[in-house]
Amino acid sequence: MMEVKHYLDRIGIKEIKNPSLEFLTELQNRHLLTIPFEDLDIPNRARIVLDLARIYNKIILTKRGGFCYELNGLFHWLLTQLGFRVVMLSARVYNHNRQELGPEFDHMTILVHLDHDYLTDVGFGDSFRQPIKMPDGEVRDISGHYRIAKISEDNFELQREDGNDWKTQHQFTLIPRGLSDYNAMCDFQQDAPNSSFRIRNAYTIATPNGRITLSDLSLTVTENGKKTKAELSGEQEFYSLLEKYFGIKLER
């Protein structure tokens, strides 16, 4: 059975409050600090199926992480249970190497209706840590400076400041979606030879002053803007560091 209490315990929330921007900000931030973005089930460990009970068991009961459909899909459920009015949105991630947007449903993000609408997200890895007001809000936190830009009547972009430029993170519309709408892209991310998720293992979590990221090639620790990167010797060290830094012990 999926229980709100167990979920809140997992992210360190002691008190349920009425829906508000303050509570939403607390929920998003605590989620990012306690539940990692990770794709260790792809491609060879276990099939990712967009079933809420299955995702809840993985992330809440066994204390794993997940990727966007799992993390934001489950967060959408939590927010709904807590009385927020919330919808899933489809986003197309911008690939800066190829200079192109991904397909529809490439990423799941979330819109919350309060006094204003706010974009919130716990499944995009290193990204904004507090909700961004629609349609043109911006936030600045330890991870960077972000803004929403309206690019047409129906399309918006999440952008991140990079030097003197603003770089697109993803593009999205405000059309409400359901969890099953992401099934095809969830399968693609796991099966397509050109999917980035098939050629790496990554585990990353926010910290109060930065971020820790473990891949099958390196460990990167960012603290107050200072980044330290160490190359790994192989698979054995990867699993050893996974347990050391994240408390996760997985079968090889």
Q: Which residues pair with 139 in a beta bridge?
A: 146
Note down the domain range covering 85.
4-197
Q: Kindly state whether residue 217 falls inside one of the protein's structural domains.
A: yes
What is the predicted pLDDT for the residue at 146?
A: 98
**Which CATH number do you get for residue 186?**
3.30.2140.20
Residue 84 has what pLDDT? 98
pTM across the whole model: 0.96
Q: How confident is the model at residue 144 (pLDDT cuts 50, 70, 90)?
A: very high
172 with 90: CB under 8 angstroms?
A: yes
Say what the pLDDT of residue 151 is: 94
User: Looking at this protein, which amino acid is placed at residue 21?
Assistant: L
User: Is 252 within a domain?
Assistant: no
Q: Do 192 and 204 share a domain, yes or no?
A: no
**12-65, pLDDT tens digit by residue?**
999 999 999 999 999 999 999 999 999 989 877 789 999 999 999 999 999 999
For the chain, helix, strand, coil in percent to 5 are 30, 30, 40
Contact 211, 226 (CB under 8 A): no
Same-domain status, 85 and 146: yes
Sorting pLDDT into bands at 50, 70 and 90, what band is 200? Answer: confident
Mind listing the pLDDT tens digit for each residue in 90-111? 999 999 988 999 999 999 999 9
174 shares its domain with 210: no
Say what percent of the chain tops pLDDT 90. 83
In whole angstroms, give the CA distance from residue 93 to residue 91.
Answer: 6
Residues 167 and 43 in one domain: yes
Strand order of the β-sheet with 202-207 is: 37-38, 202-207, 210-215, 218-223, 226-231
One domain, residues 46 and 166:
yes
The whole-angstrom separation of Cα 118 and Cα 24 is 10
Report the interhelical angle of 21-34 vs 68-81 (nearest 10°): 140
